[in-house]
Amino acid sequence: MEKILSELKPEGKGNAMSEIVSVVKMKIGQAGKVVEIHGGAGMSSRLENLGIRVGEEVKKLNQQAMRGPVVVAIGKSQVAIGFGMATKILVEIVEEVFDENSSNG
Amino acid sequence: MKILLMGNPNVGKSVVFSRLTGVHVIASNYPGTTVEFTKGSMHMPEELGLSGETAEVIDVPGVYSLEPVSKADEVAVEMLKEGDLVINVVNATNLERSLNLTLQLLKKKIPLIVALNLWDEAAHTGIKIDVEKLQQTLGVPCIPTCAITGEGFKELVSRIKEARAGEYEYEEKERWHEVGNITTEVEEVTHRHHTFREKLADASISVWTGIPIALIVLFTTFQIIRFIGEGLIGYVFEPLFENLWAPLMLKLSNILGGDGFIHDILIGRLVDGGIDFGESFGLLTTGLFVPFGAVLPYVFAFYLILSFLEDSGYLPRLAILADNIMHRLGLHGMAIIPMMLGLGCNVPGALSTRIMETEREKFIAATLMAIAVPCMAQIAMVIGLMGKHGAVGLGIVFGTLFIVWIILGVLLNKTMKGESMEIFLEIPPYRLPYFQGLVKKVWMRIIWFVKEAVPWVLAGVFVANILYTLGIVDVVSRFAAPVVSGILGLPKEAVGALLLGFFRKDVAVGMLAPLDLSLSQLATASVVLTMYFPCVATFATLVKELGVAATLKSTALMIVSTLIVGGILNLVIGN
């Protein structure tokens, strides 16, 4: 997993236009566009069924301590994703959300 | 005619089902409440222009897609071949998610009608759907409904006759795209600020506030259950039995001549010339008092609170918080559902292990539940028996069981092949439980308890009397003495209780009462009774759910771990 991440992640900080990270690495409150899902067909279609598809935007709501599940908002719903699964979802950060009250969708 | 109710998980299919058929099924606010097909029938009223015949309605467990990703999905998809008509229950608060399945159903060319359920909630959250436009686009009838209050149902039923195979055509790989287009076309969303419920929703899973809230919820839950249970027993059920039922039984005892076989079976033995509901042990005395006087109040209290938690939507949040611990036991967060249900009664607990994805997880969840989760009937009796000695005894019993639960889970996770699955679930919004629905659900569970438990209690009391009369308990006691006394430190009279534990745990705990056990012996016996074997009803469910081989494996684990844990307890706290 780490390998894939390092391949995709642009080296050096300042020069990249946008940052590609896994959902696990996203900051809480950050929104990102799903760019890649590294998983078998089974996992991809499970994610797809709940609306997590390449091109969709997810917002990270929180993450439980010690490799716990990540909760993201997608459209009008919230989805809890196990840590391992969340490492396989790569997103391109689109905006930093500071406003508590804003909701996406 | 066969009507299938299909839709995503947690969109209210079971409530729709209850509305249509009058058959009440358990519905909750989390995905996966329905793990079995429930069948019912509905009358097709002529005054609404229908045939006047009776149709069969099937509540199909929720699926997101007709491309199955789990075994449960496969079964649901298989079911589609048998249906004559599908009522597609759609979540109006999340149209996009739901339409994916709708489009797939349209391709199956089966007569279809769409119920836009949760319509009221959609309106509340600022979602407006142009029903007319949606209807035109899809080419099938679409009816806004609110299953909980029954709004829209008359229209839904009367338009069943309009259901037809849709003509909507699309490229398979463009499906999500199409879904997106339709949604944008028909849906209008007005922005709303965070409501209190949404803030609460965030707080109950966030890192800093989630765990404290969970602890408060669990502690309060426990307190309320005890308060209601103890109150009902102390002020209602015990007085009823003591003041009304006991004199009647004494009269009957006189009529029967005070002793003899029939007297002993019905009334049991008199203690100091009176009825002692704990010790007399007749069918009409202890046999009725245990289920109705001692256990039912707690069962009622438990199901009241559990049903409230289920309907509110808190349980999936608890699952997220518990996910971490559950992974160490080879499970994931949703495994708290079988554990919570098991606390009420192990039978529904075992059934609900179906929400686990793999055989491995099902086995671990069912085994842990059967070994270390005592049912409310047993808990009620243990509290009744040991509560008077203060919290220490109860602490030892429940503390030991909790430790066993953790250690056994870790061991199973380490030794069994395979990995644990990841939690992956949609978190439902908080909903204020609908009062009438809640009452109905608690009532259903109480009726279920009375039907399932009381016959076993009576059978247990009856068999115990026979076994004692025939001297069989004595014979078994002699054989079992080395184990029961030697390892567990219990008197050989406790063997009778252990034998009865196969029938019912509550009666078995009740049989410990006359034995004059010390507090540590009571604690050991209570732990052993929980662990060594599930009651017959649970055992039968395990066989059905896990198969014979896995159940035997699970049983072997129970016996071995009981001897180890009982032995250790005896060494540590025994005299």
B320 vs A61: CB contact, 8 Å cut-off? Answer: no
Does residue A105 sit within a domain?
no
Residue A103 domain-assigned (yes or no): no
Q: Which single residue is written with the structure tokens 């989805």?
A: A79
Check residue B28 and give its pLDDT: 81
Q: Are the Cβ atoms of B422 and A62 closer than 8 angstroms?
A: no
**Is A4 exposed, middle or buried (CB count within 10 Å of its CB: 0-12, 13-18, 19+)?**
middle
Distance of residue A10 Cα from the nearest chain B Cα, in angstroms: 29
At residue B51, the pLDDT reads 82
Length of chain A: 105
Per-residue pLDDT tens over the stretch B400-434: 999 999 999 999 999 999 888 899 999 998 988 98
- The per-residue pLDDT for range B119-176, each reduced to its tens digit, is 999 998 889 999 999 999 999 999 999 998 999 999 999 999 999 998 888 988 889 8
Identify whether A74 is part of a domain.
yes
Q: Does the structure show a pLDDT above 80 at A11?
A: no
d(CA B486, CA B524): 13
How many Å apart are CA B7 and CA B57, to the nearest integer? 14
* Contact call for B127 and A42, based on CB within 8 A: no
- The answer to whether the Cβ–Cβ distance between B324 and A103 falls below 8 Å is no
Would you call B378 exposed, middle or buried from its count of C-beta atoms within 10 A (0-12, 13-18, 19+)? buried
* 3-state per-residue secondary structure call for B470-514: CCHHHHHHHHHHHHHHHHCCCCCCHHHHHHHCCCCHHHHHHHHHH
For residue B384 the two structure tokens come to 């009744």
Distance CA B568, CA B196 (A): 50
- Contact partners, residue B170, CB within 8 Å, separation at least 6: B103, B178
Tell me the mean pLDDT in the region B255-275: 91
Rg of chain B over CA atoms, in angstroms?
27
Residue identified by tokens 């245990």 is B290
Residue of A nearest to B194 (CA): A101
Greatest Cα pair distance, chain A, in angstroms, is: 37
8 Å CB contact of B193 and A53: no
Mutate to test the interface with B, among A58, A64, A97, A104 (most CBs of B within 10 A): A64
Higher-confidence residue of B140 and A77: namely B140
Asked whether the beta carbons of B205 and A62 are under 8 A apart, the reply is yes
pLDDT of residue A63: 92
- What is the DSSP track for B209-264? HHHHHHHHHHHHHHHHHHHHHHHHIIIIIHHIIIIIIHHHHHHHHHHTTS-SHHHH
pLDDT at residue number B116: 97
Q: Is the dihedral of CA B125, B442, B309, B25 positive or negative?
A: negative
Contact B321 A79 (CB under 8 A): no
pLDDT at residue B256 tops 50: yes
A102 in any annotated domain: no
Residue spans per domain, chain B:
2-189, 208-573
Per the CB < 8 A criterion, the answer to whether B147 and B19 are in contact is: yes
In this prediction, residue A65 has a pLDDT band, given cuts at 50, 70 and 90, of confident
In a domain, A43, yes or no: yes
In which domain, by residue range, is A72 found?
Answer: 2-12+19-95
Residue B81: C-alpha distances to residues A29, B2, B3, B36, B108 (Å): 45, 11, 11, 17, 9
Rounded percentage of chain B residues whose pLDDT exceeds 70:
99
Within an 8 Å CB–CB cutoff, is residue B208 touching chain A? no
Strand-by-strand arrangement of the A77-81 sheet: A20-22, A89-95, A31-37, A57-63, A70-74, A77-81, B424-427
Residues of A in contact with B422 (CB under 8 A): 69, 81-85
Q: Give residues 51 to 70 of A whose Cβ lies within 8 Å of B.
A: 51, 53, 61-69
Detail the DSSP E strand segments found in B372-480: 424-427
pLDDT at residue A7 greater than cutoff 70: no
Taking CB atoms and an 8 Å cutoff, what residues of chain A touch B94?
Answer: 75-77
Which residues of chain B lie closer than 8 angstroms to A76, CB-CB?
93-94, 125, 127, 189
The Cα–Cα gap between B291 and B310 comes to 25
Question: Which of these, B107, B176, B159, lies nearest to B138 by C-alpha position?
Answer: B107
Provide the token pair at B529: 């009774």
Q: Do B191 and A85 touch (CB under 8 A)?
A: no
pLDDT for B72: 72
Q: Is A34 in the B-facing interface, judged by CB distances under 8 Å? A: no
Q: How far is CA B492 from the centre of its chain?
A: 35
Q: Sort out which chain B residues have CB atoms less than 8 A from A103's CB and list them.
A: 191-192, 194
The predicted structure's pLDDT at residue B34? 76
Distance CA B229, CA B338 (A): 23
**Angstrom distance (rounded) from CA B151 to CA B154:** 8
Query: For residue A92, what are its two tokens?
Result: 């391109």
Tell me whether residues A64 and B193 touch, CB distance under 8 A: no
What's the whole-number average pLDDT of chain B? Answer: 92
Over the stretch B467-494, which tens digit does the pLDDT of each residue have? 988 999 999 999 999 999 999 999 988 9
* B323 at interface of A, judged by CB pairs closer than 8 A: yes
Give the mean model confidence (pLDDT) for residues A62-82. 91
Q: What is the pLDDT of residue B49?
A: 81
pLDDT for the residue A15: 41
The C-alpha atoms of residue B91 and residue B93 are separated, in whole angstroms, by: 5
Q: What is the mean pLDDT of residues A77-86?
A: 93
Q: Nearest CA to CA, how far is B411 from chain A (Å)?
A: 21
Please check whether residue A76 touches B, CB under 8 A. Answer: yes
Superfamily assignment of B2-189 in CATH? P-loop containing nucleotide triphosphate hydrolases (3.40.50.300)
Find, among B305, B338, B571, the residue nearest to B442 by Cα. B305
The ipTM estimated for the assembled molecules is 0.84
Option in B93, B194, B424 nearest A80 (CB) = B424
* φ, ψ (nearest 5 deg) of residue B203: -65, -35
- Tell the residue number behind the tokens 């706290």, with chain if given: B573
More confident residue, A15 or B467: B467
Q: Which residue has 């009774």 as its token pair?
A: B529
- How many domains does chain A divide into? 1
Alpha helices in B256-390 (DSSP H): 261-266, 286-288, 296-312, 314-328, 336-344, 346-351, 359-372, 376-386
The pLDDT tens digits for B28-86 are 877 777 777 888 999 888 888 888 889 999 999 899 999 887 777 788 888 898 899 99
B30/B11 Cα distance (integer angstroms): 9
Instruction: Give CA separation, B330 vs B178, B347, B399, B413, B415, in Å.
Output: 40, 22, 21, 5, 10
C-alpha to C-alpha distance for B2 and B99, rounded to whole angstroms? 23
Helix (H) or strand (E) holding B39: strand B38-43
Q: Is 80 exceeded by the pLDDT of residue B15?
A: yes
Q: B565 burial class (0-12, 13-18, 19+ CB within 10 angstroms)? A: buried
Which CATH number characterizes residue A74's domain? 2.30.30.90
Please say if the pLDDT value at position B94 is more than 50. yes
Q: How far is CA B344 from CA B233, B260, B379, B459, in A?
A: 18, 38, 9, 21
Find out whether B446 and B303 touch, Cβ atoms under 8 Å: yes
Phi-psi region of B281 (alpha: psi -120 to 50; beta: other; left: phi over 0): left
Q: What is the pLDDT of residues B200-252, one digit of tens each?
A: 888 898 888 999 999 999 999 999 999 999 999 999 999 999 999 999 999 99
Identity of the residue in A50, A82, A105 whose CB atom sits nearest the CB atom of B64: A50
The confidence score (pLDDT) of residue B193 equals 67
